[in-house]
Amino acid sequence: MDDVRVGVFICHCGTNIGGFLSIPELVEYTSTLPHIVFTMDNKYTCSEVGLTEIKNAISEHKLNRVVVASCTPRTHEPLFRSTCKEAGLNPYLFQFVNIRDQCSWVHMQNREEATEKAKALIKMGVARAALLEPLKESEVEVNPCALIIGGGIAGMTCALSLANRGFQIKLVEKEDQLGGALNKLYRLYPTHEKAIKLIQTKSEELKKNPEIEIFTSSRVKDVKGFVGNYDVTITHVDREKLVRAGVIIVATGSEALIPTHMYNYDGKRVVTQIELEEVLRQGKVGDKKSIVMIQCVDSRNEERPYCSKVCCLTALKNAMLIRELNPNTQVFVLYRDIVTQGTVYEDYYGKAREAGITFIKYQPEKPPMVEERFVTVFDELLGEELTLPSDLVVLSTPLVAHQDSSELGRLLKVPVDKNGFFLEAHVKLRPVDFATDGVYVCGCAHWPADVGESISQAYGAASRASIPMSVGRVKTEPLIPVIDEDDCSGCSLCELTCPFKAIKVEETEKGRKAKVIAASCKGCGACGAGCPQRAITMRHFTDEQLLAQVLPLSEVKT
């Protein structure tokens, strides 16, 4: 370790840091620390000027470790790492010290103590930097084939989009026909086109495309492998088939809740919106004088706190279709809030009002009562109870996740949220990706979405999934565990702990030993912190590197 040469760059961040900490004091203190050969402060280290200073210092002072004390690694680590790389330094020899978000900004009234804390943080960072080791990313090839689970509108759109770019597609659908939930819909808002037409157009295109192989009445039974090389077992009735794919897209959709035990639901006189679609398809509303729709049925409550988003517009659409079929039929929509965001949908709501549909606001504490031939409801705006005649009651129930979504999540090593919907990697930064590389999501599997949104998401997922397939290879995480074969007892605890199946115990010449599958590893380190033999070293977060930061203040001051 005698040739460790650390350079530290302390950022003023304008006045964000410089205004609350004494930078000269930090520079002076830092220059006294072990291994330091260069220290400087910058107005903005992340500016072109600052980055050039880093690159110059690396070559002039032969720095082999770079520490930047500034904002947060969550936003700026990639930038500084690539700066190091440009100057010929391995990017993993870079160390971040957060003296803004977790120091100057949170101790604004206390310049002296904040400066002391920043000194400690810099010392901790320098101590860790000295122990950092260069790491190398490796690459694996990507099979240019996408497995799409779910043949609804999202899955079909995604399949076409990817096939048109020249990728092979395996489309798996559990039902015996494509179309998914759209098969149960009559017309779609806001255009009122027939759902069946959309399905037909898409299915024909799909079937004509030579790149697409469709598996109906099939389910995914098992998934092995990692981004670039997945081996997926599909079951078709009682036969199994193995397909290989480089990426996987989850487009399994959702289903409408069946409101058993609510509002005297019987599927005849009290039906769901989906069941009403079938009535409308057959044009059988003519004889009904009055129809009452109830919104937010068994949703936006404690058990199911979310808004299903599509039910308001579905109710508006079906109410308008009823009025078109029979202008004398009265339609009452009992709602808690009408959610019609955006210009088109808000306009659509206006049209529904103009069409003579009556909207009555109820409170969740006083839900409507469904009787044999009428519905009573306390009108929140009028402040009185109304009795509405009803020949048919239609319940707007939320879209809910499929029962087996968490099982599929387990197979794919991707999470579902507390409602059973698939959870993306990041709501804004990676909205159609999963944290697991090579797996993507679109449509209602992710969250209640209407047809338009599902199609947009499908294009998004197709676009994201095409990246590794176009490039043809993916980089694997260098932050992976290293297993000391001599210490490993082959107990399999790491294999059990790993949420990504990135460790496998194999028979070797030395007996049973754990092996890391680099392409699957996400670098969490859970295996190492639990290894009974302590045979696992987590690269870039080794015990030594962490312990170097476990510095009591008493040691910082000396």
Binding window for other proteins (CB under 8 A); candidates: 245-253, 371-379, 443-451, 496-504: 496-504
Of 5 and 522, CB closest to other proteins: 522
Binding window for other proteins (CB under 8 A); candidates: 115-123, 334-342, 395-403, 506-514: 115-123
Of 367 and 523, CB closest to other proteins: 523
| Least distance to other proteins, CB of residue 387, Å | 45
Give 341's contacts (C-beta < 8 A, 6+ positions apart): none
| Least distance to other proteins, CB of residue 257, Å | 22
Tell me if 329 sits within 8 A of 303, measured CB to CB. Answer: no
Place of tokens 């074969």: 485
Altogether, the residues listed in the chain come to a count of 558
Q: Does 541 bind other proteins (CB under 8 A)?
A: yes
Tell me if 476 sits within 8 A of 537, measured CB to CB. Answer: no
Q: Does 493 bind other proteins (CB under 8 A)?
A: yes
Dihedral sign of CA atoms 424, 426, 427, 428 in order? negative
Q: Which of 523, 522, 549 is nearest to 538 (CA)?
A: 523
Strand partners, 333: 293, 359
Q: Does 131 bind other proteins (CB under 8 A)?
A: no
Of 62 and 475, CB closest to other proteins: 475
| Least distance to other proteins, CB of residue 75, Å | 8
Spatial distance between the Cα atoms of 340 and 26, rounded to a whole number of angstroms = 55
Q: Does 374 bind other proteins (CB under 8 A)?
A: no
Q: Does 229 bind other proteins (CB under 8 A)?
A: no
Residue 77's φ and ψ, nearest 5 degrees, are -60, -45
For residue 38, give the DSSP letter.
E
| Least distance to other proteins, CB of residue 244, Å | 24
Of 192 and 534, CB closest to other proteins: 534
Q: Does 22 bind other proteins (CB under 8 A)?
A: no
Mask: binding to other proteins, 426-465, rule CB under 8 A, as x and -? Answer: ---------x------------------------------
Of 89 and 531, CB closest to other proteins: 531
Q: By CB under 8 A, what part of segment 521-540 binds other proteins?
A: 522-526, 528-534, 538
Place of tokens 């999501």: 441
Identify how many contiguous H helices and E strands the chain contains and give both numbers. 14, 30
Spatial distance between the Cα atoms of 221 and 405, rounded to a whole number of angstroms = 13
Q: DSSP 3-state assignment of 369? A: strand
Residue 2's φ and ψ, nearest 5 degrees, are -70, -15
Q: Does 406 bind other proteins (CB under 8 A)?
A: no
Alpha helices in 23-138 (DSSP H): 23-31, 48-60, 73-86, 111-131
Spatial distance between the Cα atoms of 154 and 459, rounded to a whole number of angstroms = 8
Of 368 and 528, CB closest to other proteins: 528
Q: DSSP 3-state assignment of 408? A: helix
Mask: binding to other proteins, 84-113, rule CB under 8 A, as x and -? Answer: --------------x-xxxx-xxxxxx--x
Interacting residue with other proteins among 76, 81, 117, 323 (CB under 8 A): 117
Of 228 and 525, CB closest to other proteins: 525
Query: How many residues sit close enough to other proteins to count as binding (CB under 8 A)?
Result: 58
What's the one-letter identity of residue 116?
A: E
Of 61 and 430, CB closest to other proteins: 430
Spatial distance between the Cα atoms of 36 and 6, rounded to a whole number of angstroms = 5
State the residues that interact with other proteins by CB under 8 A.
72-74, 98, 100-103, 105-110, 113-114, 116-117, 120-121, 124, 413-415, 417-418, 423, 435, 479, 491, 493, 496-497, 499-500, 522-526, 528-534, 538, 541, 543, 546-547, 549-554
